[in-house]
Structure 1
C-alpha cells in the first residue's frame, strides 16, 4: 500500500465505520495494513475490486488518523477518532444504545446525552470526509447503524451527490425505536439518502412505520414522503425516499474456489483428526455477542448430552466465538457466562481424551473457517435476532461436496431465503434440541437435496447480485440530486 496521489475526486465512494484494512505494527516499528476479516469487508471486496473508488472509514485506533493511501485502485481515507470518541460514539452510542434497541432489547439499552453528542460529531466528520473526496455527481454508499446521520449531513454539504444507505442489522419495530430520545433526528438523518436498503422487507416496513409515527410522514408502496420542517436543524428539507429490502449475500464463486483448494482440503483432514475423527461434528461460528444465541445453543447441547442423545467421542460440538467489543460490560459478562457454561458441560460429560465441547475464543482466517465448514456435519446458526447472518450462506457454499446440514434460526434474515434449512426457534430449547437431532439423523439423501437447493439459492443471489440490485435501486430513486454543489458554485 502506498500514499495516495492527488485526485479531483472519485465517482464512487463507500463510507463505513471501519476501513477495510487493519493496521499491524511489527517489532521493528514498520507498519503493515492487512485486509479486515469482517463481514462487510468480505461482501464489498468483490464489488470494489474493479472500481476506482474511495473508502472513508475509521482506521481502528484512537488518535490522529494516517494520511489517505492507496490499496490497489482503492483510495483509503482514514477518519480520526479520539479515545473519548471511541468510548462514546462507538462503544457507547453505537453498541450500548443503538445495538440493543435494534436487536429486540435482548439487553437493556443505555442512554447518555454525551454519547449522542459524540455520535453526531463523528457523523459530521464522516460527512465532511466524504464531501471532500467525492467527485461532482458521485454515487455514495453509506453503510450501517453507526452512520445514520451521514446521509442528511452529506446532502446539506453536497446536494449533487446520489446517496444510498444500507442497514446490515435489523431495523426495530416502532414500539422499540421510539424509546430513543433522538429518534426524530435519526430518521431525518436517514431521509437524506435517495435510497435506503434493508436486509428484510419487515425492516423496511418498520422504518416506514417509524417515519409515519415519529415524523408524521406518509408512505405509499416503498416510498416515504416527508414535508420537511421549519427549523434549520438536521435534514429539514422535504424528502421523497425509497426504502426496500435488498438482502446481502457472499462471493459464492470465490468461496467455492477457496474451499476446494488443496491447502484447505488438507486442513479439513487435520482438523477432523484433531477432534478424534468423530462420527458427527456440530459447529457454531459467531462473534461473541448476546444476539447470536450462543447461551441457548449451549443449553440445548448440554441437555442433549444429559439426555444421552449425543455423547463424545461419537458427537462433538465446536464453538468458535470471535472476540468482540470486549470493553463493553455486557460483552464481558457474556464471555464469563459462556466460558463458565462450557466448563460445566465438559466437567460433566467429557472423558480423558474425549472433549464434548471445544470452545475457541479467537479469530481465524478465511482458509481456516472454510476448512471448519467442511468438517461440520451440522452447522448451528441460531441467533436470537440477526440482520442476515452470512455464516449460513458461507457454510452451504463451502460444502461443495454436497454434504452437511444447516440448522437456522427463523429470526435471521437468511431464513427468508434459505427455506430448505432445518428451521428453529432458538428460544424454544426443546424444539431446538429436536431440530438438531433431526439434522443429525435425517436420511442422507434428503439432507443432500436440502443442501443442493440452498447452494443454488446462494449461487443465484450472490454478492454481485446484491450490489447490482442496490445500485440499480439507488440510480432509480425518486428524488434526483441537484446539478451543482455549493463547492462548485464557490470555485
Structure 2
C-alpha cells in the first residue's frame, strides 16, 4: 500500500529518529504511527513566522526525507491566506459551527467572500501537491483530514488520474441539518459536494455520521442516502465510523517517565491526603470547564464538609490559537475557581486548582493527574471524540469516569462510564456528589482496558479502507 496523508497540522521529527508522536492519541500521532509503519508522504502547512520578512509564504514546498521511507511536504503559504483559511474560516466559522458555538443572531457574518477565497486557495495548494504525488497505482490510499481541507477530495477528483482511493476523516463532531443550514448556501453545498468526491468519509461515532448523512439528504437534491453512504452525481461515497485509538504503548511509556513521577509527587503534595477529582482539557469553548466548576461548587454548597476530603485538580492547556472568546473563558474559569476557594478552601489547601503545566511535560502532567484520580470529569458540550476519556479509563485504578453523552467517545465507552448531561449543571452536580459519597467501585476496568488495547492504528486504517478482520 502507498499512503499519502495531508493535514493542516504539522508533525515534529528528530534527525535520525523520524516522526515524534506528541501524545498517545489524536490526529498527528495517528498519522505519525501509520506513516512510521507503512512509509509514504505527508503534506502539511509550514508554520507561519511572526516577522514581516518571513519567507514561508512564497508558494514553495519544503521537502524533508525521514527514516522509514517517510517524506514531509510542508507548504509555504502566504500569511494573509493562511489567516483567512485557518482563523476566519477554520476557527470562527467551521470549528464553532460543528461545536454549536456560533452566535446565530450575528453569525455567520455576511462578509466571508475574501476569507472563503483564502480557504479555497489553501485547499487548492494541497490538492496540487497531492495530485503531483499520486501515481495512479491501485494500492494508493490518500487520507485527507479535518475541516481545514473539505475541498481537497473534489479538487483531486478533477485533477488527478487515479485508480487508488481517496478518504476523508472528520475529527470534529458533525452538526445536525438545521444548524448546518446557517451556513451561506454556496459554502454549505460546496462543503458537501466537495466531500462526496471522496471514496469514504469517516467519523468518530455513529451520531456524527448520521448527522452528515442528514445534511446530504436535506441540502443536495437528487442524492440517495442510506445507512452506509451517499450516492450523488453518479458517485458512491461510503460513510464509516472509525474512532481514533488510544496508543497504549505511549501511555505506558509516559507513565514511567521521570517527568511523570515529578508531576505525580507535586500533585500528591497539593492534594495533601485528600481524594482527587481530576479533569484535563485545553481551554476550548466546548470543553465546558465553567459548568464543571459550577457543578462542583453546587456539591460543596450542599455538603461543605466535602471540601476537606476532596481536591479538584483541573489540568488546563492553551488552545491552538486563542481568540477573544477563549481568553474570556479562561478569565471566567479563574474567577469561578477563586470564588470556590474563597468560600470553601483553607489556607494552603484550595478546594480546586487550575494547573498550567509547562509545554514539554504537559502529557506527563495529564498522565499523573489521571492515574492518581479517584474521580474524573469529562463533560464537553460536544466533542468529536475525546482522548482524555480513553486515557482516564486506561490509567485509572480506582476512578469513576463521568463522561458527557455528547462526547464522541461515549458511544464506544458507554458500558464503562457514568453518563453526564453537560448542559445541566445541577444534574452534573448530582452525579458528581453521588460518585463522591457512594463509595461505589468503578465499572469493570479490565474490560475497558481490553477494549482499548484491541484498538490500534492499523485497525483504524482497516475501518477506513473497508477491510474486514
TM-score range normalised by the length of the shorter chain: 0.7 to 0.9
- TM-score, length of structure 2 as denominator length: 0.87
1:306–1:89 Cα change, 3 Å: same
Secondary structure in 2 aligned to 1:193?
Answer: coil
Find out whether 1:334 has 2:333 as its counterpart.
Answer: no
Counting only pairs closer than 5 Å after superposition, residues 246-265 of structure 1 correspond to structure 2 as 246-259=242-255, 261=256, 263=258
SS in 1 for 2:422: coil
Question: Which of 382, 386, 409 is matched with 2:383 structurally?
Answer: 386
User: Whole-Å Cα distance in 2 between the matches of residues 339 and 262 of structure 1?
Assistant: 30
* Deviation string, structure 1 residues 137-175 (Cα, Å, up to 9, x no partner): 221001111111011111212130410001111111111
Tell me: CA distance 1:169–1:453, structure 2 relative to 1, closer, same or farther (3 Å). same
The runs of at least 4 consecutive aligned structure 1 residues that moved more than 6 Å come to none
Aligned twin of 2:2? 11
Q: Is the 8 A contact 1:311 1:356 kept in 2?
A: no
Per-residue CA deviation, residues 106-137 of structure 1 (Å, 9 max, x unaligned), is 65543322221111111111111212223332
Query: Helix, strand or coil for the counterpart of 1:17?
Result: coil
Change (3 A) 1:64 1:164: farther
Deviates more, 1:331-340 or 1:414-423: 331-340
Given that residues 313 and 355 in structure 1 are in contact (C-alpha distance below 8 angstroms), is that contact kept between their aligned partners in structure 2? no
Aligned position for 2:166: 163
Are residues 1:198 and 2:194 paired? no
Equivalent residue, structure 1, for 2:94 = 98
Q: Which residue of 2 aligns with 1:135?
A: 135
Consecutive unaligned residues of structure 2, counting only runs of 5 or more, are none
Q: How does 1:406-425 map to 2 (within 5 A)?
A: 406-419=401-414, 420-425=416-421
1:204-238 CA distance string (max 9 Å, x none): 222222222211111134131112xxxxxxxxxx3
Q: Give yes or no for contact 1:11–1:135 (8 Å, CA) kept in 2.
A: no
Alpha-carbon distance in 1 for matches of 2:375, 2:458: 28
Cα pair distance change 1:393/1:163, threshold 3 Å: same
TM-score by length of 1: 0.84
The alignment partner of 1:274 has SS state of helix
Instruction: Check the 8 A contact 2:34/2:458 in 1, yes or no.
Output: yes
Gaps of 5+ in 1: 1-9, 24-31, 228-237, 476-491
Aligned ranges 1:452-491 → 2 under 5 Å: 452-472=446-466
Measured on the aligned residues, the alpha-carbon RMSD in Å equals 2.5
1:209 aligned residue: 214
SS of the residue corresponding to residue 115 of structure 1 reads helix
Q: Secondary structure at the match of 2:381?
A: coil
Equivalent of residue 83 in structure 1, options 79, 84, 94 = 79
Q: CA deviation at 1:411?
A: 0.6
1:423 is paired with a residue whose SS is strand
Q: How many residues align?
A: 442
Which residue matches 2:394? 397
Contact kept, 8 Å, 2:315 with 2:354, in 1: the verdict is yes
